[in-house]
Homo-oligomer: A and B are copies of this chain.
Amino acid sequence: MDLLPDALASACLQQFRATPPLVHCLTNEVVQSFTANVLLALGAFPAMVVEPQEAAQFSTMANSLLINIGTLHRARAESMLSAITAANQAGTPWVLDPVAVGGLAYRTDFARHLLTLKPAAIRGNASEIMALSGMATMGRGVDSVDTSLAALPAARQLARQAQTVVAVTGEVDYITDGLRDVAVTGGDKLMTRVVGTGCALSAVVAAFCALEGDRLHHVATACRIMSQVGGQVSQRVAGPGSFVPAFLDGLYQLEILTY
């Protein structure tokens, strides 16, 4: 399997910086502030608009839409469906983060329904991607006990089935459109001790889905940015507390992607 080439990733970052997208984020309650700060650090414009009619209206103005079901409840599910419907009508790409899907019934049914609504990309950990594709998993939902490589067949199947790009992330990230795979290395296990790193990655994936061109490479670049900066920052901080400001600074200063 090929790693995402440096030159391709850097070119994609330049394209992003030249046309920073407005990203509509319907995400979970816990990570909204960190998600917004990650997008702002990269130069994108985040916005969270939640009332169903407004969420629909805003999806047609935004350049992409993130749907994260971490703290799904009935009212927010209505907003999400309203936003997705409007996004699809307007041609706004939308991205699914199927947080903790599998073990919990309400969100699992909801996520399965969302698969029929043509997400541009899906980003999850191994357990989530396996559960969403219908494969068995060992997780309790919030912690992935499966490796991303073990989930790659499920990711490919899910990508073909939903005609989308799937990123299954972990120690190594695999990004697939069902026919082609790209791998992204980097990151650090310290990132698992900071809430929202995975959720924020999904928001960055959504932001990169606003770009014209090869979506497989755009999604891979989003993964690459987060794991490269996260990995580098982890080497020089004392713990998960100082990771957050250093990580946001690193995203803000990022100019090229090179191993």
Interface residues of A (CB under 8 A from B): 22, 28-34, 36-37, 40-41, 43, 45-51, 53-54, 57-58, 61, 70-75, 79, 100, 103-107, 140-143, 192-196, 237-253
Q: Complex formed: what's the CA distance from A90 to B41 in Å?
A: 42
Q: Complex formed: what's the CA distance from A140 to B251 in Å?
A: 25
Instruction: State the oligomeric state as a number of copies.
Output: 3
Taking a contact as CB atoms under 8 Å apart, the answer to whether A104 and B58 are in contact is yes
Taking a contact as CB atoms under 8 Å apart, the answer to whether B74 and A51 are in contact is yes
One of B36, B141, B143, B249 near A242 (C-beta < 8 A): B249
- Chain B residues with Cβ below 8 Å from A58 are 103-104, 141
Taking a contact as CB atoms under 8 Å apart, the answer to whether A61 and B140 are in contact is yes
Q: Complex formed: what's the CA distance from A185 to B103 in Å?
A: 41
- Chain B residues with Cβ below 8 Å from A252 are 193, 238-241
Interface contacts beyond A41-B240, A239-B252: sample of 11 additional A-B pairs, CB < 8 Å, sorted by A: A29-B32, A40-B195, A41-B239, A47-B141, A238-B249, A238-B252, A239-B248, A241-B244, A241-B245, A241-B249, A242-B249
One of B41, B45, B50 near A241 (C-beta < 8 A): B41
- Chain B residues with Cβ below 8 Å from A195 are 33, 36-37, 40, 46
- Chain B residues with Cβ below 8 Å from A143 are 22, 45
Q: Complex formed: what's the CA distance from A106 to B79 in Å?
A: 13
A125 to chain B, nearest CB (A): 13
Q: Complex formed: what's the CA distance from A9 to B220 in Å?
A: 46
- Chain B residues with Cβ below 8 Å from A105 are 53-54, 57
- Chain B residues with Cβ below 8 Å from A242 are 245-246, 248-249
- Chain B residues with Cβ below 8 Å from A192 are 40
- Chain B residues with Cβ below 8 Å from A54 are 72, 104-107
Q: Complex formed: what's the CA distance from A105 to B40 in Å?
A: 25
Taking a contact as CB atoms under 8 Å apart, the answer to whether B28 and A30 are in contact is no
Residue in chain B with minimal CB distance to A103:
B61
Q: Complex formed: what's the CA distance from A103 to B60 in Å?
A: 12
Residue in chain B with minimal CB distance to A104:
B54
- Chain B residues with Cβ below 8 Å from A46 are 195
One of B48, B72, B142, B244 near A28 (C-beta < 8 A): B48
Q: Complex formed: what's the CA distance from A43 to B49 in Å?
A: 31
